[in-house]
Amino acid sequence: MMTRMMKRALINFVFRLFVFFCVFSLYITHKEALYEFMTHEFTFGISEYGISPLHVLWFIFMIMMMQHIFPHKMLSMAYKKGDIREYIPVEYQRIDLLEFVQRMNVRAWQVMLVWLSFNAVFAVLYLFKVIDAGDMLMLTVFFYLCDYICILFFCPFQTFIMKSKCCINCRIYDWGYFMMFTPMLFIRNFFSWSLFFTALIVLIKWELTYSRHPERFWEGSNKHLQCSSCNEKLCIIKNKGKRGDLSTK
């Protein structure tokens, strides 16, 4: 049975797929438009560029991140687990929690190192003018699509590094925007830096909550994160055939 959250996730994935192909079509046919958007000087008055679909895309990106800075109840439990209202304590050993935190922190730093090393390649190519701002914007939109591919179908970080069983239990779930907008750091532009530094705020907010209340992020201390309490089943496609019928857990 498909849950309401799963249906929403699939709709979001289709929307992101649509956005990706729209921007990719523009990238193939009018790449100069992407370059001009990412390099022209921003003003609060009326400019020769007017309001373009890329301005709308920037607005969508910002709204998505604002929902994580100022969360609402419609968000996935993967994010809401940091909220005290979503914490259902169970009996646990303090040493077990500390071991969990240490293990997850090491793996999280491994993910960060891999991600920054990967993006450093594009940064060098950009600084040496092998690729331009239009390419970096296309890369960001690709990461935007990959975010939901990781949630629904396959996540290399979850599989090879974090070893978490699902997004609900993922230690780095809200790193997504920081990772998505990493290429924007290297472009000196209002639109690019506003996206990157807003994403950085989302990341810092997540890490501060995790450091202060790690018990909310572990299924061994928070019943809401256990399979028996899950009403979302976002892992049903990704883990199909791995653990049997997830709906019974």
pLDDT exceeds cutoff 70 at 180? yes
pLDDT band per the 50, 70, 90 thresholds, residue 48: low
Calculate mean pLDDT across residues 27-45: 81
pLDDT exceeds cutoff 80 at 50? no
pLDDT exceeds cutoff 60 at 248? no
Per domain, the residue ranges of the chain are: 4-35+73-248
Strand-pair partners of 222? 89
Taking only the tens place, the pLDDT of each residue in 75-122 is 999 999 999 999 999 999 999 999 999 999 999 999 999 999 999 999
Over the chain, what is the mean pLDDT? 92
Taking only the tens place, the pLDDT of each residue in 119-156 is 999 999 999 999 999 999 999 999 999 999 999 999 99
pLDDT exceeds cutoff 70 at 249? no
